[in-house]
Structures are given as structure tokens and as C-alpha cells.
A and B are shown apart, each in its own frame.
Chain A
Amino acid sequence: MKKVYLWLLMLPGLLFLTLFMIVPIFMTIGSTFFQDGGFTIQGYVKLLGDPYILKILGTTLQVSVITTIVCIVLGFPTAYYISKTKARTKGILLALALFPLLTSAIVRSFSWMVILGKNGIVNNILTGIGLIDEPLKILYTPTAMVIGLIHLFLPLMIISLVGVMENIDGDLLRASESLGASRLKGFMNIIVPLCVPGLIVGSILVFVGSLTAYTTPQLLGGKQRVVATFLYQNAMTLNDWYMASIIATVMIVVTFVIIGLMNKLARKLNPKG
């Protein structure tokens, strides 16, 4: 096909994205460095010097790291089990994992409000069996956010891992066993390294997703802010668009740095080279 035609086919989409996505983003980033007609990094200095904002950044990071780790711990064995089942069972289990993933984040966060609330299921059970007298405050804490985010992103981890585990030859493990390695040793030395690419993809998806999530922290976090809800608050409630732009810039830079680093790591660790 002639080059001209190729470009003509892509042009409408490219123009659309440039005009409505790329330009607004670059103008937003630019606007954080130019205030009152001069170059400035004042906003970023303020960001790093404000304990309230630093606390928000800290909460976001902490919540995302915990979510990612728990998703790996829960997702790895689950994905391994799914990948070892027969085709029919595998299809059903994958569908059951995908269903919550495709369900609205509001529905899923809302279900945790019902479970974790002051009169929620967890507190009713705990007070019912006399373990506690006063209901625990779980909802509107970082713990609630972590639980909601794990629920939100665990399917992504499972699906990414099933993708790589399906392609691992079962004979490899049997070969290592027949050569005298214990099952666990064979698993750790053969299966785990082969899963690294899927593990990295899954971790990027979960970690970046948690860092930038809006709905779940908004519903389950209460007054606890994370960067996405803080961006919204600045833009829509406080009308501080300068600060909102700075947070947007930080979010974009952090997202792309993480994706870049993880991709580099994935290439390095990929056993297939």
C-alpha cells in the first residue's frame, strides 16, 4: 500500500487525539511552568514543602504498594490453579474473574460500603459474636481503600498471570522432578521465572491503576485523600486549577516513568531474551 494512503487512513484518528488529548495535556503541563508571564517552578516547590500534600502522596503510594503486593500473593496461586484446570473449567473460572472486572467500579466499591460500614456485615458479625463492643471504623480509612482496590484489580493480576502460565510446558516441572528437584524447588526455579513477564505486566496494571484510581478512594476513603481525589477536589471544589494542573503533571510523569521502568525490567528479566 502506498505510504500516502496509510497516513490518510490514520490521519483522522491521529488528528482527533492530537487536538483533544495531546494538546490539552501538553498545555496543562506547560501551564504549570509559566505563571504571570515568566518561567517558574514555584508550584512544585510548594508541593514538596506542603506536609498535607506530602501526606496525600504518601497515602497514595502506601495504598498502591500494599494493593499490588496483596494482588500478587492472592493472584499467583489462583492463576496457577486456573491455568492447570481443564479447558472447560478454565473458561468458567476466567469468566468468573472477568465478570467483576467488567462491572462498574461504583457497584463494586458500593458493595464494600455495605460490608465494611458501621452497621455493615463485618461489624454486625463481630459485635454479634461478642468479639467487640463498639463497631470498628473500617470504612473511610486507608484499609477500606486497600480492600476496595484489591477487589478492583485482583482480576487484572489473575488474567495477566494466566496468560503466561498457560504457555508453560508442564513437562518442564516433571523433568526437574525426575532429575531429583523437589516440587517446591522446581516450582520456584522453573515456573516462577517463566511467569516474570506476566507478573510485571500485572503489577504495572495494578500499581498504576491504584495510584490513579478515583472512584474507589472517593467512595471508601472518606476524608482520606489520594492524588486522584485530591486533583478532583482542587479542580472542582477548591477551584485551584494551578494546583490541579501540577498534580495532573505529576500523575502523568509518574505513570510514564513506572511504565518505562517496568518495561525495561521486563525486557531484562524475560528468560526468552
Chain B
Amino acid sequence: MKEKHRGLAVFTALVFIFLLGPLVIIMATSFGDSTILKFPPEGFSLRWYQNIFDVDMFMETFKVTIVVALIGNLIALLLGVPAAYALSRGEFRGKGLLNSIFISPILIPGVVLGFTMLKYLVVKFDLPIYSSLLIGHVVLMLPFIIRVIASSLSNFDYAIEEASMSLGASRLKTFFTVVLPNIRSGLIAGVLLAFLESFNNVDISVFMTGPGVSTLPIQMLTYVENYFDPTIAAISVLLMVVTGVLMILIERLMGLSYFTKK
């Protein structure tokens, strides 16, 4: 019996090497000194990290990516929090269907969202590309916000709300003073997840590029297709650091079991 587990442990270890090995290799190559990406890297240098800050396009697209992720997140919260509250506290006909509609941006292929938005929002309705990009990212983030908040609300006892209201607080006041503080950690975790989703998005952003408008992932994609030096490896390492920090925060706020239970 023990031996069987040992076999399983070796198998699991190999799977994790497959999952994490490539990321480790990227980290190693980012510190190499040669202009061609090599593993094992030759020499040691930080010049590829320097290069990120010297290439204007990286800095400009980084700004766009951050602005879109932050403002988009705010809009998604304003739209998503009330909807999630209604969906988890109300009982009404068509609830299942509405729930599916709010979650559907996850199910619809990203390139389809990107293309149809380009076709109608940008071309037909003549919206500026920047606004369309923002709208696309709000659509993308909404399901993450709604799902995390609905899951936090389902863990929060409705009786506490009723108690507050029976003591004279209005529903709105109860929401802000009782409900919101109690689902705060879920709310922040949802914001972080949505942020990551927006920050890494390619499928929608790739259709929404124009003069002065492009996101960092799209700039990286273009760069990779034209150059093969370790700059992208250096950016990748920075992105991994950001991902790692956000993941630790999400773990602290909600526990990673959230991911296995949806």
C-alpha cells in the first residue's frame, strides 16, 4: 500500500516539474547576457530588465493595461455587486437564466467577444477604441466579481441582516454597515481575480488596438513574433512576481479552496 503511494508521489512530482519547470527556465534565461535567448544562460546581466524600461511601447501599453484593469474593475463592481446581491438574496422566476447570463462571458469564446465587439461597438456604433477596450474588459470581469460575491454572500447568514433591519436600519444602511464589512475579504479577492483576468487578457484586447491604444500582452505578443531576445523573459518574470503576490493575497482573503469548489 505504501509503495503504491510512492509511485503516485513520483508521478505527481513529474507533473509538477512539467507545470513549473518552464517557468523556472524563463526566470533563468531572463538573467542571461547574450542577445539570443539561451538555456542554460551565458553570463549574468540585468540589461534585459533595463531594456523593458527603455522600450517606450512597453511602458505605454503597461499604462493602458493598468488603467483599463482598474477603471474596468470599478465599473464591474458598480454593476456586479448589486446584481450579485439580488441574485443571491432574491427568489424569483427566471433566476437561473439571469444567473447564466451574468456568468456567460466566461463561457463565450474570448475571440468571439473580441470580434463581435470590434464589429459592432467600434465599427458600427463608432465608439472610440479605448472605450470599447474598456467595455470589453468590464464584460470580462463581471462574472468573476459576481461569482466571488455570490459565494461570499451565501456564506453570510441572512438572519444577521434581518436582525439589523428589524432594529430599524434601512436595507441600504444594513447593506453598507452590516453586509459589506462581512463580505469584504471576498470582495477584495474578487477584485484581485478580475484584475488578473483583465491584466492577462489577450483574446479581447487583440481586436481592440489602434493609435495609442494597445495592452501590454498584445505588445508582448507582437514583440515575441519579431524578436527573440530575453526582454520578454524579463517581463515574464515581473508578471510572475505580480501574479504570485496577488495569489498570496487571494489565498489570505479567501483560501485557495474557493477554486476547487466552484
Contact = CB atoms under 8 A, between A and B. Distances in A.
B203 A104 contact: no
A228 B113 CA distance: 11
Interface residues of A, number: 84
A80 B139 CA distance: 35
Contacts of B244: 99
A78 B107 contact: no
A180 interface: no
Nearest to A15: B79
For chain A, what secondary structure do more than half of its interface residues adopt (helix, strand, loop), or is it mixed?
helix
A10 B239 contact: no
Given A95-B247, A106-B202, A110-B26, A159 B259 contact: yes
Contacts of A105: 200, 202
Given A98-B247, A106-B217, A111-B26, A3 B92 contact: yes
B79 A12 contact: yes
Interface string A228-256: 10011001100001001100100110011
A210 to B, nearest CB: 11
Contacts, number: 255
Contacts of B111: 212, 214, 228, 231-232, 248, 251
Interface in A1-50: 1, 3, 5-7, 9-10, 12-14, 16-17, 20-25, 27-28
Contact of A102 (B9, B220, B247): B247
A264 to B, nearest CB: 15
B243 A102 contact: yes
Contacts of B118: 235
Interface stretch (A113-121, A129-137, A188-196): A113-121
B224 interface: yes
B181 to A, nearest CB: 19
A162 B260 contact: yes
A111 B224 CA distance: 11
Interface of B: 1, 4-5, 8-9, 11-12, 15-16, 18-20, 22-23, 25-26, 29, 36-39, 78-80, 82-83, 85-87, 89-90, 92, 98, 101-102, 104-105, 107-113, 115-121, 135-136, 138-139, 142, 146, 171, 196, 199-200, 202-203, 206-207, 217, 220-221, 224-225, 228, 232-233, 236, 239-240, 243-244, 246-247, 251, 256-257, 259-262
Closest 4 A-B residue pairs measured CB to CB? A111-B22, A212-B109, A163-B260, A9-B82
